[in-house]
Amino acid sequence: MQMKSMLAVLLTAWMLVGGAAMAEEGLAEAMFTPLRQKEVNPVSNKQYKDECGSCHFAYQPGLLPTKSWEKLLNEKALADHFGENAELDKEVLAPIYDYVMANAADKSYYKRARKIALATEGIEAPLRITEVRYIKRKHHEIPAKMIKENKDVKSLSYCDACHTQADKGVFDEDTVKIPNFPDWDD
């Protein structure tokens, strides 16, 4: 009984000291909650959603690591953003850049974002979410006729075409509905 009491005291002290340090970094709740999210953090920045979402699905920052976002959000890359000019004034870009960097996959405690971060460690920074090994693996069994040859999907880059809760950061299989293939379930 004495050993259990001592362990309880040590655990409480560790949680108080360690928990306070992590609370300063905003990590305590994300790491120790029994309700830790399994997906990716949904987009919560209005300016990011408005600017990036005006041309395409506003991809959650947790879908790529910091090193990828750094490459995507520099002035040269934005001038030729996959064939389009997506340049932004410095005053507009700065808060978007800060938001994305703070919420990139390697800074996230959401489970799917962590898997993406691990899949991109030690390799050249992917510029496209569809180039991430983890994403490729999750989609490898889907035939081309359901994606590339599907007029309502066209590419894996249109996440929200099949992932019905993509805007909420939910990409699990239970929320997938492939247009024109209602009976398909992986």
Predicted local distance difference test score (pLDDT) of residue 37:
74
Q: Where is mean pLDDT largest: 4-8, 14-18, 112-116? A: 112-116
Q: Check pLDDT > 90 for residue 181.
A: yes
Q: Check pLDDT > 80 for residue 66.
A: yes
The DSSP secondary-structure symbol of 176 reads B
Give the C-alpha separation, 88 to 130, whole Å. Answer: 24
User: Mean per-residue pLDDT for 39-46?
Assistant: 95
Q: Check pLDDT > 70 for residue 35.
A: no
Q: Check pLDDT > 60 for residue 27.
A: no
Q: Residues near 112 by Cβ (< 8 Å), separated by ≥ 6? A: 38, 39, 40, 62, 171
Assigned token pair, 154: 């066209």
Q: Check pLDDT > 80 for residue 31.
A: no
Closest CA to 65 of 17, 118, 12, 14: 118
DSSP 114-125: HHHHHHTTTSPP
Predicted local distance difference test score (pLDDT) of residue 6:
60
Q: What are the pLDDT digits (tens) for 116-139?
A: 999 999 999 999 999 999 999 999
Query: Is 55 within 8 Å of 72 (Cβ atoms)?
Result: no
Give the C-alpha separation, 169 to 34, whole Å. Answer: 19
Break the chain into its structural domains and give their ranges.
Answer: 2-32, 46-175
Q: Which residue has the higher pLDDT, 115 or 23?
A: 115
What type of residue sits at position 132? V
Residues of the chain with pLDDT > 70, as a percent, come to 80
Predicted local distance difference test score (pLDDT) of residue 149:
96
b or e along 137-176 (b: 16 or more beta carbons within 10 Å of the residue's beta carbon)? ebeeebeeebbeebeebeebebbebbbeebbebbbeeeeb
Predicted local distance difference test score (pLDDT) of residue 28:
45
Q: Check pLDDT > 70 for residue 1.
A: no
Query: Is 99 within 8 Å of 118 (Cβ atoms)?
Result: no
pTM of the model: 0.78
Average pLDDT for the chain: 86
